[in-house]
Chain A
Amino acid sequence: MSTPYRATVSFALSCTRRCSTPLVLSRKIASRATAAYTDASLSGAQDPASSSTPPGLDYKQRNVLDRAIRVDQAGEIAANWIYKGQMVVLGKDLHVGPIIQDMWDQEKRHLIVMDKLQVQHHVQPTLLSGVAKVAGFGLGAVTAIMGKEAAMACTEAVETVIGEHYDDQLVALETLPQSHPSIPLLARVIRELRDDELEHLDTAVQHHSQRAPAHALLSAVVGGGCKIAIRLCKEI
């Protein structure tokens, strides 16, 4: 993907986020959809939206649901380990250390939500979670060793692919029957995670990700690797 095109995609995605900024703020003031899984007072066996899976899905629909949750969980595992790798190298940096830590804390929350979704919908997790951890840590550590800008470029590339991936998933989820409350809740959760990832993309761009050495090549390699990982985790 050429640098001008990448810049256009990043700008367009960040516009999407900026257009939804009032929504983001109101969402932060109001309850987040993920609170159904992270807030102990809201989650529980009483709420079918967060405790049961829709019965009677046909094979194709079940496949869509399983793949969505499987790949999202794997993605959050990888994201956590990317930030872990970055923190090992840049954790003591007074400028980017706290920024990376903030983003990592958000990813930890995302993973908690994904783990609960996987149990709720009885989804088989990917066999490649171990690979996701090793690859994520390696990617985070190597880009952090290359420099702060490279670490931010890695975040930018990953979050660009993840943002597009979540958008595709929201379209796919529309094919599922909306009568069971867990499906609209899942869509809201994914929308929220997408917005969070786009915030990370913004943060990365604001912290000079595009000044990274060989930014176009780095972004292409990282973005391509993410797309391959998404495809593999859907199937395996």
Chain B
Amino acid sequence: MATTSARLLQLAIPLVKTHGFTREALSRSVLSLPTPHAQPLPDAAITSLFGQGDNARKSLIDTWLEDAREQMKATQSTVVKDVLWARLQHNEPVLNYLPDAFAVLASSSTFLPLDPEPAITHAAKVANEACWIAYPTEKSWHTRRASIAAIYLASELHQLTSPSTTYQFLSSLIETSSAAETSLTEAQIFGSYVFKSWAGIVKSTGVFL
């Protein structure tokens, strides 16, 4: 059963462009099998395979997001801006359906009316993938990923409201982040010089002799 549902989820991914993240896309996935069914699956079959209500939609959304992350590995460039832009471009065919999809994910918690965890996890996974491509030997592993995740999340939110200016917005965020990183690095270097000079002064007083 798990193999069948996984296979149908994969076949439903191309149907998201036309049918959205819906039970109908899952239902029509059987029409894309090597030996296609004559009719789409009935709703009862979708329920037995993927669960009731929005559970089926959530499975399709998770599979689509995972596929999008896999597609990032095919990016030709290793520059983080290009990798994130490629990921954002992957959203374009389904842009109209994404707000609803994110709402389904955010409302899937049994305890909270609006769960931020799926959005944070989504951004973190995209950032992780982007960093493995662009910064494979990064020493500041966690801070780099946190920064890229924030940039990606802001850019994706911007894309949902103003798709035509997404690239400029992404570029400006990355430039600001680079400038902040450079300033921080220079401040650290200056701080180390000050520390070393004071250490030299203290040593020269003979306190430690």
Contacts and interface: CB of A to CB of B under 8 A. Distances in A.
Interface in A121-140: 122, 124-125, 127
Interface string B157-194: 00000000000000000000000000000000000000
Contacts of B136: 119
Interface string B137-152: 1000110000000000
Nearest to B136: A119
A119 B132 CA distance: 8
Interface string B115-144: 000000000000000001000110001100
A122 B141 CA distance: 11
B137 A125 contact: no
A119 B137 contact: yes
Contacts of A125: 141
A124 B137 CA distance: 12
Nearest to B137: A119
Instruction: Choose among B136, B137, B141 the residue with the greatest number of A CB atoms under 10 Å from its CB.
Output: B141
SS class, residues of chain A in contact with chain B: loop
Contacts of A127: 142
Contacts of B137: 115, 119
A124 B132 contact: no
A124 B138 CA distance: 11
Interface in A48-62: none
Interface string B59-74: 0000000000000000
Contacts of A124: 141
A139 B136 CA distance: 32
B142 A122 contact: no
Contacts of A115: 137
Contacts of B132: 122
A115 B137 CA distance: 8
A115 B132 CA distance: 14
Contacts of A119: 136-137
A122 B130 CA distance: 12
Interface string A140-170: 0000000000000000000000000000000
Contacts of B142: 127
A124 B129 CA distance: 12
A119 B142 CA distance: 14
A2 B136 CA distance: 46
Nearest to A123: B141
A216 B137 CA distance: 41
6 contacts: A119-B136, A119-B137, A122-B132, A124-B141, A125-B141, A127-B142
Interface of A: 115, 119, 122, 124-125, 127
The 7 A-B pairs at the shortest CB distance, nearest first, are namely A125-B141, A119-B136, A119-B137, A122-B132, A127-B142, A124-B141, A115-B137
Interface of B: 132, 136-137, 141-142
